[in-house]
Structure 1
């Protein structure tokens, strides 16, 4: 039986823009910066300043596509070691998000956990979330943090700081 949250029905969104945001955060953290560089923040603000509703939706769908791709890769990796991705990754990410008190409001954590469970179960995180209405302003940072934390987790377990970015760029068409 097909689910209304089946990934084949989900828009991919602007995966490139979402990946750019995650990759820039990874590079900042790996470069020893705990806070985003003001120049980088200004460039990001300039990049997104002209965005309308459609571009924002595309970015949100792109972030959900990243979460889906990362969770599917992690599911396969954990299954090779006879572990359940949901039992390992969800508690790790929820615990980490709970520690991010300045940028992740506690009320958004269940939604991020739901996105992870949806993606780890083979459902579209974007379509799963849309069942409950439009994204809230308070969910923007947690969504970015969730995609970032998944990418960083993949990089850490592969011992390769660029693996998660490469994983996605190699899967993207060469348009």
Structure 2
């Protein structure tokens, strides 16, 4: 049975831009920088400011697409070991978010967990969220943190710091060729 939240109905958004944001955060953390480099932060702020309202929505949809793609990969990886992705990924994600009160306010955690569960069950995070209203400014950091944490989780599982980024880049490249 088809759902109004099926990914085929969802806008992909600016996946490349969203991936750039997540990849820069991953590299900063892997380089031991807890706080973003001021120059890097300025460049990112300038990029985000240049997007305008339509571009910001595209970036938001791109982040949701990343979350969907990351959860699809994680679901398949867990199924290969007869494990449930929701059981193994969501509690870890929630526990990590709880340790990040400056980036992820406690009231945003249930929304992020539900969005990840939606993606893990094959629904579009973007369309799932739209059922409950527009994104709020307070949800932007948690959304970014969710995509970041899923990418970092994939990198940790594979033992490769660039795996999640490379996986998406390869998917984008093959989509362009088709």
Q: TM-score category by the smaller chain?
A: over 0.9
Could you list the per-position Cα deviations for residues 148-174 of structure 1 after superposition, in whole angstroms to 9, with x for gaps in the alignment?
000000000000000000010000034
Residue 49 of structure 1: how far off its partner (Å): 1.5
Residue 92 of structure 1: how far off its partner (Å): 0.4
Gaps of 5+ in 2: none
| 2: CA distance, partners of 1:140 / 1:95 | 19
Task: Report the counterpart of residue 105 of structure 2 in structure 1.
Answer: 105
3-state SS, counterpart of residue 101 of structure 1: coil
Gaps of 5+ in 1: none
| 1: CA distance, partners of 2:164 / 2:18 | 13
Task: Report the counterpart of residue 141 of structure 1 in structure 2.
Answer: 141
- Matched residue pairs, number? 175
Task: Report the counterpart of residue 45 of structure 2 in structure 1.
Answer: 45
Q: How does 1:26-175 map to 2 (within 5 A)?
A: 26-172=26-172, 173-174=175-176
Query: What is the TM-score with the length of structure 2 in the denominator?
Result: 0.96
Task: Report the counterpart of residue 17 of structure 2 in structure 1.
Answer: 17
| 2: CA distance, partners of 1:35 / 1:79 | 36
| 1: CA distance, partners of 2:20 / 2:50 | 17
Between 66-75 and 47-56, report the one with greater CA deviation. 47-56
Could you list the per-position Cα deviations for residues 26-61 of structure 1 after superposition, in whole angstroms to 9, with x for gaps in the alignment?
000001111111000000111122222111110010
